Structure 1
Amino acid sequence: MNLKFNYRIGLLLVFLFLLSPTVNSYAQNNTKIATNSGLKGTIIENERQKALEYATVSIYSLPDSLLIKGTITDRKGEFELTNLESSTYFYKVEYLGFKSYKSGSILLRENKTQSLSNPISLQPDTKSISQVEVTANLDFARIELDKTIYSVSNSPISDGGTINEVLATIPTLNVAANGDIQLRGSSDVKILIDGKLSGLLGMSPGDVLSNMPAGDVDRVEVITSPSAKYDASGSAGIINIIMKKERAKGFNGNASATIGTINKHSGHTGLSLRTGKVNFSGSYSYRDDWSGGDYELSRLTEIQNNFEILNARADVDLGTRSHIGQLGMDYLINDKNTMSFSVTNRNVKQNKNGTYNYSRNLVTNSSSPTETYRESAVDIDLDSWVYNASYIRKFDRKGQEFSFDVAYTSNSAENYGNYTSEVEGNTSDFFNSDREEAIIQMDYTQPVGEVGSIETGYLYRTNEIKYNEPIDLSTAFNYKESIHGLYFQFSGEKGNFAYQFGLRSEYSDIETNKAYNDDYLDFFPSVHLSYKLSDNKQVLLTYSKMVYRPDSGMLNPFQNLQDPENQKLGTQDLGAYYTHMPEFTFIYKRDKITYTTNLYYQYKDNIIKQYRSVNEDDVAIVTSENLGSLQYAGIDFNISTKFNKWWSVNSYLSGIYQKYTSIEELDYLGNDAYSFFGKLTSTMRIPKWFNFQTTLSYDSDMPVAQGSYDQSFQVNLAFGKRIMKGKASLSLWIYDVLNTSKYNVNTSGDRFSQQMKYKYENRTANLTFRYYFGKKYNVLKTKKRSSGAHHTEKDI
């Protein structure tokens, strides 16, 4: 313990050492006398001759090509670089989705600001090698060498929904009614915020994202074959949620209020104050949400020479009230050094009240069934604090960068349970859990040549959880996980060929107080290749490897008393499993349509899955077990098209074959089957009226280790409209319009077969009003109605 503590102190000292010369250098640089030379101009897009806001302008010295200074354009596309010495320079202009512009040499004369006589016009980038623009629907998706990026900021859902709800519109993703997020049908996916694990410390991703507004999301990156740069945990891929970054100076913000069906209320406000040197931000979210659900269970169990039939019905209400507050600060030490700090508090209270009715009878018995009931009331109180600090150091050479991030969370949860039944009378249980989690991450990028780069970094992650029941200390459970990761990655381009090679090593150590201890060293290679066949055809070939480690919930032997007929217990002899993920992608673009085809294969050995059995008391027990291997092969078809300026459609269809290999130790026979998943998203942006989005999704019967899920169909609708001259918006979101979504699972095993039908409160509607305020929105007041000016979202 002391060794690890001293190691953290050592990392902190390294960080302070790297920072100290930077601050000293900044102090020395400030003593220099700066001249008044400068450069200013305007940046526009070529097609519509419209100003480009937030374009990046960088100026370099000649002949050594050192980066001197950079800035971004304002709402009018204008920029100005000041306090430059009289010398010879060249400058570059860059903007996402457009070709970069490089000027010839220019001479800045002493004490004069040179104005460019003509605006710089940027051309759309349709010939990128490592990145392919889906030009048929530029606002929605584009494919890069190692990921697919979906722009969701203009979705009607973004103004009124949660992050979970906007994720449900992305083709390869599915969000279940209970908040589970799936990628290509698998929930073993890793969620990141801004490329880091720190944003989701201390809580499950589904719980965090269902409390965060979609309006804060800029784009979503879906990474089906992760590179060595990313933490290797998981088995299905990565979903990286990129949040919006406020760039406008001054005071800006927004506030929203949402009302929904069946006592759903929420509110959110986000504020920022940017002075240029020190920037502050803060947000607060409140949610009061009641949802209902029920399930029906029918189980046939072999008992000696007879069969018992158990029928059960449950009616469960779940109430959630949460408060989430965050404060942050950015300190721009100078043009090349930035430090950021933030603190987040989450307070969540949940009430889960259920009524369970059971009916038992033997097949050969003609007497009336034996009927019993049970009532449960469970209260959960969670309080979580998350602290983040980061440092970014940029160098003179463009693309050379060092970053250091540290995050720490402390969670405390109390769980109260009260139960009433005919057999046991009144019973109760209580336990509390404390969780501490920390992450230290360092990354460094070094450009090589004109188009290549080397990336390397280190990650340390520790997670410690303690479960305690004051009455019975024998049930106490402690879990501790420590992971050290180191990676190296090289990427570049040559002609029509782009490449990325990486290798990651991770040392893992997991232990519990129940005689479980597992430590191992792993290596995770990754390869990403891209070749451009022609201007409109491109192929990509990727491979990566991931690891899935058992977590505290899988290992915890504590028995939950909510439903005595269906118990869930931890297992103490689980081992990690590995996933090999090769994938081939072909992209074909036409004028208004883009076709993307993916062929992929996943091999998972020693997989961890839930395993259901019936014990000697005829009670169903669900445990996590290593169940042999799983082969997962699929083909995806994605068609993205834009019929005109206001209507675009994205259609997705995936066919999957899964094969579970049996093992004898658990009387597990294995399973294999074909399935498919489809999604159609239609977005209409009708000028002067509203934005309208429809999402239709269909899941066929899906195999699981011991059975299958039934097919499911769902339709979601979203409407959005800017009002009050763009300073406010109204949005309406309707989930599962036809009330057709269901979650039915059929399982069988030694001595039993079972059908369970879940029905959540899926058909819901939310209405949100959002108001925008601050300096960057006041420009609307300066426009006269007689001018005929027309404002859009991009204008403000």
Structure 2
Amino acid sequence: MPFPTQSLKHLRWALLLITSTVYAQTDLRGRVTDPAGIAIEFATLALYSAVDSTLVKGTVSDSLGQFGFTRIPLGAYYVEARFVGYQPQRSARFTLSEKQPQRLLPTLQLQPGEQDLQTLTVTAKKPLVEQRIDRTVMNIENSILSEGNTALEVLEKAPGVTVDDEGNITLKGKQGATIMINGKLTYLSQKELATLLRGTSSSALSKVEIITNPSAKYDAAGNSGIINIQLKKNEMIGFNGNVYANVARSRKNRYGTGLNLNYRSNRLNVFGSYDHAYRGEKELLSYTRRFRDPGESSPSRISFQNTVTDEPLYTNNFKAGIDYFLDSRNTLGLVINGNVGTYANNGNTSNLLQTITRHTLADARSTNTDDSRWSNLSYNLNYTHRFKQEGRELTTDWDYSANGFQSNQLLDTRYVDETGAFTSRRSTRRGDIPSTTYVYVGKADYTHPLGTKAKLETGWKSSYVTVDNEVKYDTLSGTNWVRDFSASNHFTYQEIIHAGYVTSTGSSVRLAYRRVCGGNTRIRKGIRLRPIHWWFVSIFNSSPACF
């Protein structure tokens, strides 16, 4: 029986939503005070799952003692509040459901900690979340997040950060956050960055800095701030090292193993590390959708969609470097970082479209595979000079990085008749998507104290970036693959930036010269059209908040 055209249109829309995720507009609010009802600012709030006490999200209270969590999966939770000098306070268990996705918690009143005047014990431990004057800091090292998580999963728990199923990162509800690792831009696409963070173990992280209003010192290309991921660094004297392994289980197994070695003397610091990790992931999605015809108030069709996705990831990270202390004030360093791995996204989807009376209109089975591999290498040469005046410092960095990414995709959809047998109707499509990025950066920063509480900072940076992305899609026609020229293109991009900044207490200015050149070559009907070249030069200044 031929499928009705209107039914197939609805079915195509449903297939486009295979990887969609539906979030309830959850919102959780509360307030932290002392016994007198006075607001406590900068208290640390942690949201835990009531099922297994795993950390879901962290934040800090504002000047009114208020805090909030948004876009939380439906479920049962409790909140714990902590502040220096006070006893921890835990809320009662509560549930966010479809009927009650928003909730205002009773005020969490912290009681002063017990004091023993005869015995004084001072214990220093960094809180999970710190609120500083210019940033929010999430301390990962030695916390409950340091084992069994990936770097991307850590970001999901960071204050103000949201990560969707595709790995897209938003900060305070805004897209375009600038992601840095050890204070350096990654120059990766959202997909490549998400893959890198999925393959980085939380045990390698020191802290995550969230800067929503960056000063002129930073390269904040987006409008939603900076997320800076700081990796661990060993500063112990002598030769030391460690070997570690971890195993975890959710729907699939996870494991990781690694080695860290370090030798440090008065004149030399040599370090290296390697880790291998496997992260298995299985995703189960189920959707029910109802469709109405134009002008009708009641639905006439209903679709049932079920998807099972298997996502194995293998990654290898390595790092090697040397710091040579020329004397007590001058240090020369070289660091090499690498990350290589593979990631697969293999999904099987069934989609049944029926009338509201359960008469089958269309039944489709889809297999969607996306096999990716990548290789990221970076080299850094750095020099630091510390002047005799405390806090006065000059640092320079020269960086080169080469990033390669390859994605091979295949989407195969077959239709089933009333007897459950496959029909002759079939749609098969493949994609070949290679990408390379090369980055050259040179920068210098100078800090000069002005008295005891102020300082002057100035610096210069020059960078050259080249990007070469090609997208090739083919459709299977009989036994031949036919290029889809409407979706295929070859994009090249070059960017040159020379920028300087000066910042001091209460003021900031940043001047930059930027030249961007790009070309987009489209191929239509087997003819390679002449590339469209474009470029622009801009000289601008910015004066964001300065701290």
Q: How does 1:759-770 map to 2 (within 5 A)?
A: none
Indicate which of 376, 380, 384 corresponds to 1:384: 376
Q: Say yes or no: does 1:315 pair with 2:322.
A: no
Q: Measure the CA separation in 2 of the matches of 1:490 and 1:436.
A: 30
Unaligned runs of 5+ in 1: 1-96, 98-134, 493-498, 530-796
- Superposition map of 1:605-644 within 5 A: none
Contact 2:429 2:473 in 1 (8 A): no
Q: Secondary structure at the match of 1:466?
A: strand
Change (3 A) 1:236 1:428: closer
Structure 1 residue 236 corresponds to structure 2 residue 224: yes
Flag the structure with larger Rg: 1
Alpha-carbon distance in structure 1 between the residues aligned to 2:234 and 2:272: 12
Are 2:452 and 1:459 aligned? Answer: no
User: Which amino acid counterpart does residue 432 of structure 1 have in structure 2?
Assistant: P
Alignment of 1:376-525 (within 5 A): 376-422=368-414, 423-424=425-426, 428-461=430-463, 462-467=465-470, 469=472, 472=483, 475-492=488-505, 499-505=506-512, 507=514, 509=516, 511-514=518-521, 515=532, 517=534, 519=536, 521=538, 522-525=540-543
Partner SS state of residue 380, structure 1: strand
Measured in 2, the distance between the counterparts of 1:372 and 1:160 equals: 38
How far did 1:203 drift?
7.2
The 1:233/1:138 distance shift into structure 2, 3 A limit, reads same
Q: What residue identity is the alignment partner of 2:263?
A: L
Cα 1:427/1:182, change in 2 over 3 Å: closer
2:284 to 288, 291, 294: 294
Paired residue secondary structure (1:157): coil
Q: Does 1:351 align with 2:341?
A: no
**Deviation by residue 1:118-174 (Cα, 9 ceiling, x = unmatched):** xxxxxxxxxxxxxxxxx9986445444322334332313224433344444544334
Change (3 A) 1:368 1:258: same
Alpha-carbon separation, structure 2, partners of 1:166 and 1:430? 31
Judging changes above 3 Å, is the alpha-carbon distance between structure 1 residues 527 and 215 closer, same or farther for their aligned structure 2 residues?
same
Indicate the residue corresponding to 2:237 in structure 1: 249
Q: Kindly provide the CA deviation profile for residues 464-503 of structure 1, in whole angstroms up to 9, marking residues without a partner as x.
A: 12215498595242231415252333324xxxxxx35343
Shift of 1:401: 2.1
Q: Distance in 2 between matches of 1:510 and 1:297?
A: 44
Alpha carbons 2:242, 2:260 under 8 Å: kept:
yes
**Could you tell me the percent identity over the aligned residues?**
23
For 1:266 and 1:480, the matched residues in 2 are separated by 37
**Residue 512 of structure 1 aligns to which amino acid in structure 2?**
G
Q: 1:315 to 1:323 in 2, by over 3 A?
A: same
Equivalent positions of 1:124-139 (< 5 A) are 139=127
**Which residue of 314, 319, 322 corresponds with 1:329?**
322
1:201–1:409 CA contact under 8 A, matched in 2: no
Gaps of 5+ in 2: 1-83, 85-122, 415-424, 475-482, 522-531
CA distance in 2, matches of 1:202, 1:367: 42
Corresponding residue to 1:189 among 154, 168, 177: 177
SS state at 1:391 partner: strand
User: In the alignment, what sits opposite 2:544?
Assistant: 526
Counterparts in 2 of 1:290 and 1:239: CA distance versus 1, 3 Å: same
Change (3 A) 1:171 1:466: closer
Partner of 1:594: none
Tell me the residue number matched to 1:20: none
| Equivalent AA in structure 2 for residue 190 of structure 1 | T
SS at match of 2:196: helix
The amino acid across from 2:266 in the alignment is: G
Q: CA deviation at 1:294?
A: 3.3
Distance 1:415 1:196, change over 3 A: closer
Q: Deviations over 1:220-250 (max 9, x none)?
A: 3221211111112122211223333322221
**What secondary structure sits across from 1:369 in the alignment?**
strand
Listed one character per residue, the Cα deviations across residues 48-83 of structure 1 (whole Å, up to 9, x for unaligned) are xxxxxxxxxxxxxxxxxxxxxxxxxxxxxxxxxxxx
Distance 1:327 1:527 in 2: 36
1:151 aligns with 2:139: yes
**1:272 and 1:280 in contact (8 A); partners too:** yes
CA contact (8 A) 1:193 1:240 kept: yes
Q: In 1, Cα distance between the equivalents of 2:429 and 2:387?
A: 64
Aligned mates of 2:253, 2:132 — CA distance in 1:
43
Matched residues in 2 for 1:158 and 1:452: separation? 35
- Contact 1:342–1:389 under 8 Å retained in 2: yes
How big is the shift at 1:199?
Answer: 9.5
Deviation at 1:413, TM superposition (A): 2.9
Q: Write the deviation string for residues 313-353 of structure 1: whole angstroms up to 9, x where unpaired.
A: 32211111111112111122222222221222222112221
Residue in structure 2 matched with residue 773 of structure 1 by the alignment: none
> 260, 263, 272: which one pairs with 2:248?
260
Give the 3-state SS of the residue equivalent to 1:207 in structure 2. helix
Q: Take 1:414 and 1:480, find their aligned partners in 2: how far apart are those partners?
A: 18
- Summarize deviations over 1:743-795 as a string: whole Å, max 9, x none: xxxxxxxxxxxxxxxxxxxxxxxxxxxxxxxxxxxxxxxxxxxxxxxxxxxxx
> What is the match of residue 161 of structure 1?
149
Q: Conserved in 1, the CA contact under 8 Å of 2:430 and 2:473? A: no
CA distance in 1, matches of 2:187, 2:519: 26
In 2: Cα distance, 1:378 partner to 1:138 partner: 41
Shift of 1:371: 1.0
Residue 251 of structure 1 aligns with an amino acid whose one-letter code is F
- 1:103-142 to structure 2, matched below 5 A, reads 139-142=127-130
The structure-2 alpha-carbon separation of the partners of 1:201 and 1:246, relative to structure 1 and needing over 3 Å to count, comes to farther
2:199/2:314 contact within 8 Å kept: no
The 3 A distance-change label for structure 1 pair 247 and 500 is: farther
Aligned to 1:537: none
Q: Counterpart of 1:217?
A: 205
Q: Which amino acid aligns with 1:290?
A: G
Equivalence map 1:29-108=2 (5 Å): none
Pick closer, same or farther for the CA change 1:203–1:481 going to 2, 3 Å.
Answer: farther
Which secondary structure does the structure 2 equivalent of 1:527 belong to?
coil
**TM-score, structure 1 normalization:** 0.44
- Does the residue aligned with 2:217 lie in a helix, a strand or coil? coil
Cα 1:199/1:430, change in 2 over 3 Å: closer
Task: Flag the 1:195–1:416 CA change in 2: closer, same or farther, 3 A.
Answer: closer
CA RMSD after TM alignment = 3.5
Amino acid at match of 1:424: R
